[in-house]
Amino acid sequence: MKTVRLAALLLFAIAVPGAGAGNQPHPVLDPLAANGEWKLLEPVRTFGPDNLYEEIDGEAELFLPYGMKRLTVAVLGRTARPGSEVRLELFRMASPREAYGIWSQYRHPDQEVLRIPPSEAVVSDASADFFRGETFVRIRSKPGNGSRNDVVGISSEIVALLTGSGSPPEEAKALDDLPGRISGSILYQKRAMLGYECLAPGFEAKFSTANASGHYLLLPPAADGGSGRKARLARELPAYREMSPALSAARIPSGNLWMTPEGGCVIAVAGKISRDQAGPLLSSFARRLKGVCRPAP
């Protein structure tokens, strides 16, 4: 009876306003409640773009550019372990790419990564972050004995309940294979890269080789075929210049920015890097993008 009442409470609390939404089940919380292992400790709360700041004030500006549609927050505990507490945040994003983009903002070098097929979770003894499909999941546990088991256990259950891919976008996979790429440094940026709005949206990764260090950048195909992008880069990047039909450059605070078109994309390396050093890196970059950078339709 308690399990049935909990499932009913969850369903009522997370119903999304709108035509026909009152009886929609929740694909994650309902099964968690139904199996009896987890119990709800607080009423479930939901937030949209207009009131997201009420729950994560100071972080809302990070999520909104990635098309956050709804945040569902639940606080649960293990039925068999009194005192346990897990805060679950389910962010419904505009697309799997945006869900990956938010996840990448919380992914840093030297963090522990746990493979929970088909997703990859960044974990600690009291936290887990991962995405699958259009959902970014953030889990935080009250520190104490068993907290790691709680976050890993509930993460495994949630991954199995979500649908969609847990794999990064193709562009991120291409960056992952580049020379000297620093593990955990790949980002999908919607607002700016290296401080410049004209370089976004795009993918970024840090690298360090024997001869150079800096950032790889990948700007996906532009809807206008790239003509507007080229003019904006020339207008907004400091000391922008065309070195050849296939190479342009700019001078930014972190050093030189070397850019070249590849298919419908623009690829770049940035840092204290000479033209001679940039050439082999850009060539290697281009080889790994075959089939990825098709022009926008």
Percent residues over pLDDT 90 in the chain:
71
pLDDT in tens, 251-288: 999 999 999 999 889 999 999 999 999 999 999 999 98
Q: Which of the four pLDDT bands, split at 50, 70 and 90, describes residue 32?
A: confident
For residue 35, which of 66, 3, 62 has the smallest C-alpha distance?
Answer: 3
Q: What are phi and psi of 175, to 5 degrees?
A: -65, -35
For residue 225, which of 174, 263, 170, 191 has the smallest C-alpha distance?
Answer: 263
Which pTM was predicted? Answer: 0.88
pLDDT in tens, 159-211: 999 999 999 999 999 999 899 999 999 999 999 999 999 999 999 999 999 98
**Cα separation, 18 vs 250, whole angstroms:** 50
271: which 2 tokens? 């840092």
pLDDT in tens, 70-85: 999 999 999 888 888 9
3-state helix, strand, coil in the chain (%, to 5): 30, 30, 40
pLDDT in tens, 101-124: 999 999 999 899 999 999 999 999
What is the reported pLDDT for 296?
55
What is the reported pLDDT for 13?
39
Amino acid 204 reads E
**Cα separation, 240 vs 252, whole angstroms:** 9
pLDDT in tens, 127-164: 999 999 999 999 999 888 889 999 999 999 999 999 99
**Cα separation, 206 vs 237, whole angstroms:** 20
